[in-house]
Chain A
């Protein structure tokens, strides 16, 4: 029996929407990767592998560990909602947001110190502040997105059959971590 136009549309939507969502997200990630790659390249083109003496290495390591921990809690959050464990989802999402805020506070602290040691107008300073600023902007938008899914989750949205918004947000959070994996050694260790 032939389907009516709205029914056919609904069936096509149900079939292709998840794939389209996933493809769209990964294309967005690809564009983000280009953006970060350009910024990281600029750091090496302008100042080689030189790094200033005054970089706060322990602080950089500490915020790296905090971001790494937030990735684990984000992973556990997605895993919890995929298994209808709402309380686990709420708990791990809150932890992820807190760790994200802690990371942001660490970046602010780092900026205060760095501004005194190498102004943004210097060659290394411009690469340093632009790259960390770009990354921090992504962390802040990630925290906002996590806040939205936390709020919706608290109102009873999402479950094992429908958690794409959580999955997308958590993947974005992992992207932020992924970029830091390259930024951290590029600015502090090489």
Chain B
């Protein structure tokens, strides 16, 4: 393997690791939001208003980071 190929492989590998790291961060955020959502729901009467921001935040995280929605609008590199 020549130097150019090694460099390309290394760049590719670090880009993959970066994407994996980002995916895990988003997943952790979703998990935390879900747990907070659950705690609010079981401890507050009529929690609709309190839960809506969590639903919207989770929806937006999945749409953007897992489904790459911005690429449909011509933004981002996905």
Contact = CB atoms under 8 A, between A and B. Distances in A.
Contact of A75 (B23, B38, B58): B23
Contacts of A82: 16
A6 interface: no
Contact of B59 (A22, A57, A178): A178
Interface residues of B, number: 31
Nearest to A25: B72
Interface string B46-63: 111001001100110011
Chain A's interface size range is 20 to 34
A71 B58 contact: no
Given A49-B48, A79-B20, A174 B62 contact: yes
A181 B59 contact: yes
B48 A79 contact: no
Given A83-B12, A188-B41, A190-B51, A68 B30 contact: yes
Contacts of B72: 22, 26
Contacts of B38: 57, 61, 189
A181 B62 contact: yes
A57 B42 contact: yes
Contacts, number: 74
A160 to B, nearest CB: 8
Interface in B18-49: 19-20, 23-24, 27, 30-31, 34, 37-38, 41-42, 46-48
Given A177-B62, A178-B63, A190-B47, A72 B23 contact: yes
Nearest to A51: B41
Contacts of A22: 71-72
A175 B37 contact: no
B41 A68 contact: no
Contacts of A152: none
Contacts of A86: none
Given A72-B27, A178-B59, A189 B41 contact: yes
A20 B12 CA distance: 27
A175 B42 CA distance: 27
Contacts of A76: 20, 23
Given A79-B23, A189-B47, 12 more contacts: A61-B34, A74-B66, A75-B23, A83-B13, A171-B68, A174-B66, A174-B67, A181-B62, A182-B55, A185-B55, A189-B37, A190-B47
Interface of A: 22, 26, 49, 57, 61, 64-65, 68-69, 71-72, 74-76, 79-80, 82-83, 85, 171, 174-175, 177-178, 181-182, 185, 188-190
